[in-house]
Structure formats: structure tokens, C-alpha cells
Amino acid sequence: MFLLRAGCLAVCVGVGLGPAVAGAADAVAGRIEGTVRSAETDRPLPGANIVFLETVLGTAASSRGFYFLEGVRAGSYRVEFSHVGYAAETLAVDIRVGETCVADVSLAETTIPLSEVVVSAGKIGQRLAEAPGSVSVLERETLEERAAISIEEVLPMVSGVDLRFGQVSIRGSTGFNRGAGSRVLLLIDGIPAITGDTGGINWDALPLWEVERVEVVKGASSALYGSNALGGVINIITRAPSHRPGGRIAFHGGWYSRPRYPEWRWTSGRQYISGIDGVYSARARRVGVVMGVAERHSQGYRQNNEDRRWRATARVESELSPRLRADLYAWAAREAYGYFQEWRGQDYALQVRPDSRGDRVVSDKVNLAGELSWTPDARTVVVLRPAWYRTEWDDYFHDGDHFSNASRFWWEARVHRAAGERHTLVSGLELETSRLESSLFGDRRARGLSAYVQDEVGLTGRFRVALGARWDGSYVRDGRDETQLSPKLAAVWRPSRWMSLRMSLARGFRAPSLAERFTRATVGGIGIVPNPDLGAESVWSSEVGCLVALGRRATLQAAVFENRYRDLVQIERDPAAAAFRFANTHRARVRGLDLEMGARLADRLSGRLAYCYQDPVNRDTGEPLMYRPNHSLAAALDVEIGSLRLGGDFRYQSRIDTVAAYPQDERVPLYLVNLRSSLAVGSVTLTFRVENLLQYHFAPIERNLAPIRSYLAGLSVRL
Amino acid sequence: MEKSWSRTVAAFLAVLTLVGCRIDHGLDPYGFEGIEGAVSFAGEWPEDLEEVRVAVYPDYPPADFFALAGYSDPVPLKAAAFSYRVRLLPGVYAWVVVVGRRRDQDWIQGNVLLGQFTSTPGDAAAAAVTVREDRTTCHVDMTVDFADLPDPPPLPKALGAGGCSRRE
């Protein structure tokens, strides 16, 4: 069902008037605006995508479903309106000089997500079904359904994504390497959020209430994103400022259950969890702002594991002119937590080893970023993006105190060009400098320079090819300089509107972090020495996959993949120095299958299923790779009863075959059940969650038990 | 349709209940496979010891210091006696030792062999211990005499090769 309301101040022409001639008009421009709503409920559809086909123009609907785009050159266009859970519709419009075209659109509900728009696979908005690789999307609704308080809670619902005490892995890329260098690139609004010293990810710095959606690109993505995108990319896209002033304030509080076994009880009282979040959004004329603050406190389910976090974020959007837009992003975070190195023994699994009791860490992060976007014509966008990321941490450990202060400056210049009706070109230059002062890593400097280009060619209406490459050069003072070339080839075929088939072959790499190159320390009596000659690790990543609509109520995304790694970085004995160091140690191969299915089982019942099988092998020894389970399954079911929503998640992971330390320790598979409920009454939403309902005990890494059962209640008020 | 989703929810809850009843709870404090025993210390503790543990090696002499199968919690410094447990996979372990680390040195450069498990107290030769499935091998007791430390194995840079600062 597609409804076009004829309230046009200018001229809006119905579907089927033929292709537009974008950019044919002269330099003068008009404006388009309107509202995107659900055809069934008439509710606005926040976040709906509005894309001018065969151009680089586009926008998204506000929280009230309103959208507008100014400075559109006069002419005829085809505009596609889409939203997850709704069938996309295309409308032909005429934009006239100095006039506003009003196009109100109603979209019909469907579970076919093939027209959902994603931005991370090609650094440009494109339909999910045409993305040159596997992309999974977690929408804001998914985050809100779960009443999640951190991104880490929801990421394992994506097939192939695993999180082990903060370290993320896509399709077995990372396993667990104790925070030294992430093999997954984390982006916030497309801007890298990788620390300058350890090359890791600080999850506590991420906004949650301000998140619009999370896109997960699986497989090597260095052809566009460079280092760290070895296993894939996670892009967290924040909300745009709303057109009407408003905000939200939310409180949550809860407690950890008593440990199941008396031997594990280490405190007589309850251990509590609490937090407060506030977000405010407004727009005045051409300037919009979103601001958020958050505070979290957990007394911890384990001894010496208390955790306090504070965070403030701001995003400012301004339309400097119809063709020029400037965005500013800023966030700052602080975390102070007790460090639980390892348990005292399995019979005292919630107590820390006595010698490390009192170990704690304080860390601060500041990120400032900007984006200047210039649209000289309907087919071209030029984007300039500088970003500065500062991280500081101090360890206060029983065997010595350490600090690290790192700054990372990143700069990107990018051009999007819709060349003719078939080509979409993305090209860019990146510059990066890192500066580090640390008691563990020394005083270090590093620089990087990169250039990339990718062309997506629509060979026919149903067959597209993406071809691209990126060159990266890295220069490390007192270290090894390297250059990398990362090509990519992908093809997407849509035999019908119900199905999309794709294949891709790409190379990825990760330059070692400054911490991996230069650590000199003795930790727990184990000496670690620098290895300035440490080189990059790389992968050839291939996959064949499909995205299929199963009737009108279910979709299936599936892929078989094989990733072949070389020179994987791992800590090893240095015979010359009689100590340990990071080294390029081995080759590996991870092949497998991942499936993701979403279904609306009935009007009020929806479900999601994610399964991944992987076979991770060290090609030099034939042994399984560490910390990679063979099977992972995540299932979710949600039901709506009026304004009450009930849901549950189940997660399973097979037992890990190999670990780095304590191979003799007992290891078990993971079975995790979470329940949740929410009740919306006017502008107030009440939530209640039970995590780890079955009180199942599992150690994701050696001698560290995952959280025991907890209860969490929340109250959210929309202002 | 109402019936359809209510049946699905009922089925989900039934499966959940079934899983909840039948599933075990994963790790627990009771299962233990390995060795346990007591270490007694005689003589005056050297001042330069920073860390002391019981370590278990599958081979004698070991290929290198870190070719170990498991080790205990740290022994409180200057303790007169210490009860330890080391979790191990089933198998035969050729060498069970008490090992120390000198202050401000790492385990490779600064390790000191303090004692080893022998079949009878006073023996010079190390004795193997066997761990059986789902069993704890008990009474793997050792004595450390700081005035009479055992000789390190004949392996350069291996355990104990760094020598020892004995107090006379």
C-alpha cells in the first residue's frame, strides 16, 4: 500500500513517470519535505530513509517522521522511501526553483528488509540487498526492546559476532588477545574509535540512548576502511537532532542474585547496579543538537570488581547553506573500576586472587570530531572529516603502577560521485598520526597515509559489481615501516525483488598497535620485551551469501565464508631475550556458515534467530584457534499485548577447544537465558529484566566467570 | 491468530521450563581433578624472594620454564606451611616443585628451585604423580629447607638454572 497525499505546494508526480534527469537543471534549487508514516497505524516512522536515486542526495526522517531536504537542484527525480519492516516505495517528483515540494508518504508493513538502507558496506547509503557484503543491522527498536544499557549486551544477537570481556570478534577473527589490538574496526558515525596505544575498543565510551542503529559488516573491509577492519566493521550510527525539542530521562536499578553455591558467596550483602541517562534534542532554524549524559555504577558480582562510569556526548548539526553542512561530534567518558585478574580458585570463583586484591584502573577518553559536507551538485558530495581521540589510563596494581596517554588524530577527505546512471564512485584520502607517552610502551610516534577508491557498477538493473582498492602506508618511529594494498571485488545479483545473491573476495590487514610493538614490562613475573620489527597481519576473506524474503513475514540472510590469515600476531617466547614478545607467529584459516533470520510469526509475535558455525584452524599446527567456539546460536522472541511487551533471549555457544593459559581448567559450553518486559503508559516506560535467569556459570576467558543472575528495573520518561 | 501466538508463547515457556529443569548450571566449586598437598618451610626465608608457587611439569627435565601443566596460588611469603591445590588434566606428571622468583626479576631470569616432590622425604630424585579422571591425588607433600635447596636440573636457562642465594 502506497499513499501519496496530494498536499503539494509544488508539483509531485506519482510513481512510474520514468527515470529522472538529475542535475539537468541549472544552479538554482528548491526544497522537498514531508512526513513518512505507517499505512496501517498512521504512526510516524522515525529514521525512515529518503534516497534520491542515481544521485548522492538523501536524508532521514526525524523522530516524528518528518523529513526535509534543501538545496535540491530543480529537476525531475525518483525518490525512494524505506524503513525497516516496511515495503519501500519509489516516487517521482519535480523540484521547482524556489518552491517546496511536499511529499507525505505512507509505507505498508512488511518484514521484507531487502530495501533497508545501510551505509557501512560502501561508505554510502545503499539498499541492504545491494550491499557488496554481509551486513547485519540492529535497529533502535531492537535496542529499546531489550532495555539495553550497553552496546555489548546486544551485539551477540548478530550471527558471527562474539564478545569476550569486551573484546569483539566477527567470524572468529579475534578470539581473545587481552585487549591488544582489535581485529574489528569500531566506528561511531563512520569515525574510527580505536585507541592510539593498544589499538583496542573502549565500549564504555559509547552512547546508547543516542544510537539510531548499529551496522555490522562481516568480513575483511580494509579496501575501504584500512587497518583493523580485518574481521569486519561495527558502525554505530547516532540519532540526528529531532525537529521538535524533546528529551528523555531514564533510571535503572537492580541487583545481582546471591551466588548459587555457598562456597562462592564472598559478601553478606547484595551487590547493586544503578544508572541514570539523559538525552535532549532540539533544532532551531538550521542548527540541531543532541546532548546526552550518563552515569553507571555497579558494585560488581565479583570481589574487587566495582565499576563506575560517566559519559557526556554532544552532536551538533548545522546547515550552513543548502549545499554545505557541518556536523560536530564530541564525547567524553571516565571509568574507574577494580581489576579482576583471575579467580582465587574454582572453589572461590567470585573472589580475586589475593595478591591482586585492590588492583584498579582509572581511564579517561575524549573524542572530538567534525564533518563538513558539501554538495556541489546532485551527483557529487565532498566530505571532510577530522577527528581527535585522546585516551588516558592509570593502572594501580599490586606489582606496580603504570600509565598511558595516547592521542590519535585522523583526517579524511572523501568524494562520492554518481557517474552516469551506472557508476557510484567513492574515493578518499586519510591521514593519521598517533602520539603516545607511557610507562609500559615508552614515548612513541606513528603516522599513516592512505588512499582508496571504489566503484559500484550497475551492469544491469539486477546485477551490480563493486571493485575497489586501498593503499595504506604506516611509518612508526623506531619501528618497521610498511605499505599494504587491500583490493576488493564483490558482485550482487537480484534475480527477483525477493532475493539477492552475492559473492565477495577482499583482502584485509591490521597494523600492530604501538603497545604490541613496544611493550616493555614485567607482569606477574613474566617479562615482555619490545619487538619493533613486528609486522602487519593480513587476511584474504571470501564469501558467498544470499538475502531472501521467505513470504511476507520472514527473511533469511545466509553466507558461507572462508578467511585465510597470515602472520597473525600473538605473544610468544623470544629465545634470544629469554622473555615474551608479540610476534607474527602463524597462519590460520576460519571457514564457516552464518545464518540470520527475522520473522513476524503473528501480528503481535516476532522472532529472531542467529546461528554461526565456524571451523577455526591454526594452519601451521593443525590445532583449533584459541577462544573460538564452533557453534554459536542466539534466539529471541517478543510478544506485544497492548502496551505490554514481553520477550526472551536464548544464547548457546559450544565449548571452546583451546585457551592460552590453564588448559587443564574445566571449560563448559554457554547456555544463557534472559527475560525482559516493558510497559508503556503515555510518556512513561517501565522495564524489568532478568539476565542469566538459569544462573548458569561460564568462563569466557580463563578463570573469569561471566556475570551471575541479575535483576534490573528501569523507568524512562519522555520529556 | 490470537491462538497462534499464544500457543507459540506457551511452547516457548514450556521449552524454557524444560531447559531450566534439565540443564546443569555449568561450572561449580565441587569438581576437581588434580593434586593437592602441603608444603612446609624450614629455615629462614631469603629476603630477595618475591613470589613462591607450586608448579607441575609433565616432563623431567622440562623443555623450558614455561612448559608447565599447572601451578598453584602464591604461597604467602614467610609462611611456615601452605596447603595447595593444582588443577590438572588426567595423566602422569614427572616433576612437582616449589619454585620462587627473585624480587624485581621475571620468572625466566629469576626463578629459584626451592623444593620438589620425592617418593620419600630426603630423596634426591624427583618422583612422578598420577592424576586419574575425576579424582584428586592427595598428599603430594613437600618440604622446603632454605638451608639445603635441591640441585636444579641439567638444563641451561631452565628451572633453577639461575642459582640461588642461600643463607648460611
Average pLDDT of chain A is 87
Q: What is the average per-residue pLDDT within A7-17? A: 34
Put simply, the answer to whether B4 touches A601 (Cβ < 8 Å) is yes
CA distance B5 to chain A (A): 6
What's phi and psi for A36, nearest 5 deg?
A: -110, 125
Cell 527525480 -> residue: A77
Put simply, the answer to whether B25 touches A699 (Cβ < 8 Å) is no
Contacts of residue A608 in chain B, CB cutoff 8 Å? Answer: none
Decide if A222 contacts A470 (C-beta within 8 A).
yes
The residue with greater pLDDT, A426 or B122, is A426
Contacts of residue A260 in chain B, CB cutoff 8 Å? Answer: 25, 28
The residue with greater pLDDT, A180 or B136, is B136
Put simply, the answer to whether B109 touches A263 (Cβ < 8 Å) is no
Who's near A220: CB < 8 A, 6+ residues apart? Answer: A229, A230, A231, A232, A486, A488, A506, A507, A508, A539, A540, A541, A563
Q: What is the pLDDT of residue B105?
A: 84
pLDDT band per the 50, 70, 90 thresholds, residue A112 = low
Q: Does the pLDDT of residue A507 top 60, yes or no?
A: yes
A14 part of contact set with chain B, CB < 8 Å = no
Dihedral Cα A180, A149, A171, A114, nearest 10 deg: -140
Q: What is the pLDDT of residue A205?
A: 62
Put simply, the answer to whether A604 touches B5 (Cβ < 8 Å) is yes
B1 part of contact set with chain A, CB < 8 Å = yes
**Residue A309: left if φ>0, alpha if ψ -120 to 50, beta else—which one?**
beta
The Cα A379–Cα A420 span in angstroms is 9
| A297, three cell numbers | 555504577
Q: What share of residues in chain A are helix, strand, coil (percent, to 5)?
A: 5, 60, 35
Residue to test with chain A: of B4, B54, B65, B106, most A Cβ within 10 A: B106
pLDDT band per the 50, 70, 90 thresholds, residue A6 = very low
The Cα A46–Cα A66 span in angstroms is 8
pLDDT band per the 50, 70, 90 thresholds, residue A663 = confident
Put simply, the answer to whether A573 touches B8 (Cβ < 8 Å) is no
The Cα A140–Cα A47 span in angstroms is 9
Put simply, the answer to whether B109 touches A578 (Cβ < 8 Å) is yes
* Single-letter amino acid code for the residue at A477: R
Q: What share of residues in chain B are helix, strand, coil (percent, to 5)?
A: 15, 30, 55
Decide if A332 contacts A380 (C-beta within 8 A).
no
CA distance B23 to chain A (A): 9
Contacts of residue A665 in chain B, CB cutoff 8 Å? Answer: 87
Among A residues 547-606, those touching chain B with beta carbons less than 8 Å apart: 573, 578-579, 601-605
A522 part of contact set with chain B, CB < 8 Å = yes
pLDDT band per the 50, 70, 90 thresholds, residue B6 = low
The pLDDT > 90 percentage for chain A reads 53
C-alpha distance from residue A388 to each of A506, B4, B164 (Å): 29, 53, 52
> Using only C-alpha atoms, what is the Rg of chain B?
23
The Cα A665–Cα A343 span in angstroms is 12
Put simply, the answer to whether B25 touches A601 (Cβ < 8 Å) is no
The Cα A514–Cα A584 span in angstroms is 15
Q: What is the pLDDT of residue A73?
A: 81
- DSSP assignment letter at B74: P
State pTM to two decimals. Answer: 0.84
Please, which residues bridge with residue A224 across strands? none
Q: Which helix H or strand E contains B108, and what residues bound it?
A: helix B107-110
B64 part of contact set with chain A, CB < 8 Å = yes
Query: Which of B1, B66, B87 is nearest residue A665 as measured by Cβ atoms?
Result: B87
What's phi and psi for A357, nearest 5 deg?
A: -65, 130
Decide if A462 contacts A493 (C-beta within 8 A).
yes
b/e map A214-227, b = 16+ CB within 10 Å: bbbbbbbbbbbbbb
B107 part of contact set with chain A, CB < 8 Å = yes
Please, which residues bridge with residue A154 across strands? none
Put simply, the answer to whether B73 touches A344 (Cβ < 8 Å) is yes
Nearest CA in chain A to B3: A602
What is the full DSSP assignment across A527-558?
A: EE---TT---EEEEEEEEEEEEEETTTEEEEE
B101 part of contact set with chain A, CB < 8 Å = yes
Q: What is the average per-residue pLDDT within A368-376? A: 93
* Lowest-confidence segment of A136-145, A384-393, A616-625, A651-660 by average pLDDT: A136-145
Q: A126-169, pLDDT tens digit by residue?
A: 888 888 889 999 888 888 777 788 888 889 999 999 998 888 99
Give me the helices (H) in A127-193, please: 140-145, 151-154
| B93, three cell numbers | 606428571
Q: What is the pLDDT of residue A17?
A: 30
Instruction: Give the closest residue to A578 by CA, choosing from B110, B127, B33, B154.
Output: B110
Q: What is the average per-residue pLDDT within A572-582? A: 78
Q: Does the pLDDT of residue B158 top 50, yes or no?
A: no
Query: Which of A263, A664, A694 is nearest residue B20 as measured by Cβ atoms?
Result: A694
Put simply, the answer to whether A637 touches B69 (Cβ < 8 Å) is no
Q: Does the pLDDT of residue B115 top 70, yes or no?
A: yes
Among A residues 599-638, those touching chain B with beta carbons less than 8 Å apart: 601-605, 637
Q: What is the pLDDT of residue B17?
A: 64
CA distance A171 to chain B (A): 25
Q: What is the average per-residue pLDDT within B64-91? A: 87
Put simply, the answer to whether A664 touches B9 (Cβ < 8 Å) is no
Who's near B63: CB < 8 A, 6+ residues apart? Answer: none
Who's near A551: CB < 8 A, 6+ residues apart? Answer: none
Instruction: Give the closest residue to A568 by CA, choosing from A279, A138, A246, A231.
Output: A231
What's phi and psi for A515, nearest 5 deg?
A: -65, -45
Q: What is the pLDDT of residue B23?
A: 67
* Single-letter amino acid code for the residue at A675: L
The residue with greater pLDDT, A614 or A201, is A614
The Cα A405–Cα B145 span in angstroms is 47
Put simply, the answer to whether B89 touches A663 (Cβ < 8 Å) is yes
Instruction: Give the closest residue to A485 by CA, choosing from A474, A501, A493, A500.
Output: A474
Within A603-706, strands assigned E span: 605-618, 631-641, 644-653, 670-681, 684-691
Q: What is the pLDDT of residue B110?
A: 85
* Lowest-confidence segment of A122-126, A447-451, A595-599, B71-75 by average pLDDT: A122-126
Q: What is the pLDDT of residue A204?
A: 67
Among B residues 10-49, those touching chain A with beta carbons less than 8 Å apart: 12, 16, 19-20, 23, 25-34
| A94, three cell numbers | 519535480
B120 part of contact set with chain A, CB < 8 Å = no
Decide if A300 contacts A338 (C-beta within 8 A).
yes
Instruction: Give the closest residue to B20 by CA, choosing from A151, A86, A494, A696.
Output: A696
Instruction: Give the closest residue to A626 by CA, choosing from A588, A660, A649, A602.
Output: A660
Nearest CA in chain B to A697: B26
Contacts of residue B54 in chain A, CB cutoff 8 Å? Answer: none
What is the full DSSP assignment across A368-397?
A: EEEEEEEEEETTEEEEEEEEEEEEEEEEEE
Q: What is the pLDDT of residue A14?
A: 33
Decide if A10 contacts A29 (C-beta within 8 A).
no
The residue with greater pLDDT, A25 or A211, is A211
Q: Which helix H or strand E contains B15, and what residues bound it?
A: helix B2-22
Put simply, the answer to whether A522 touches B28 (Cβ < 8 Å) is no
pLDDT band per the 50, 70, 90 thresholds, residue B49 = very high
What's phi and psi for B109, nearest 5 deg?
A: -80, -30
Q: What is the average per-residue pLDDT within A483-497? A: 93
Within A459-578, strands assigned E span: 463-476, 482-496, 499-510, 521-523, 526-528, 537-550, 554-574
pLDDT band per the 50, 70, 90 thresholds, residue A9 = very low
| A272, three cell numbers | 547493586
Q: A303-360, pLDDT tens digit by residue?
A: 999 999 999 999 999 988 878 999 999 999 999 999 998 898 888 899 998 878 899 9
B109 part of contact set with chain A, CB < 8 Å = yes
Put simply, the answer to whether B50 touches A525 (Cβ < 8 Å) is yes
The pLDDT > 70 percentage for chain A reads 94
Instruction: Give the closest residue to A239 by CA, choosing from A221, A212, A218.
Output: A212
CA distance A347 to chain B (A): 4
Q: In angstroms, how far apart are the furthest CA atoms of chain B?
A: 88
Q: What is the pLDDT of residue A231?
A: 93
* Single-letter amino acid code for the residue at A563: N
Contacts of residue A355 in chain B, CB cutoff 8 Å? Answer: 74
CA distance B87 to chain A (A): 6
Residue to test with chain A: of B2, B9, B48, most A Cβ within 10 A: B9
C-alpha distance from residue A351 to each of A357, A400, A613 (Å): 9, 21, 34
CA distance B112 to chain A (A): 13
Q: What is the pLDDT of residue A114?
A: 63
Q: In angstroms, how far apart are the furthest CA atoms of chain A?
A: 79
Q: How far is CA A231 from the centre of its chain?
A: 13
Decide if A485 contacts A446 (C-beta within 8 A).
no
The Cα A547–Cα A126 span in angstroms is 15
B69 part of contact set with chain A, CB < 8 Å = yes
Instruction: Give the closest residue to B109 by CA, choosing from A235, A529, A245, A99.
Output: A529
Query: Which of B19, B28, B108 is nearest residue A261 as measured by Cβ atoms?
Result: B28
The Cα A152–Cα A342 span in angstroms is 21
Q: What is the pLDDT of residue B164?
A: 31
Q: What is the pLDDT of residue A22?
A: 37
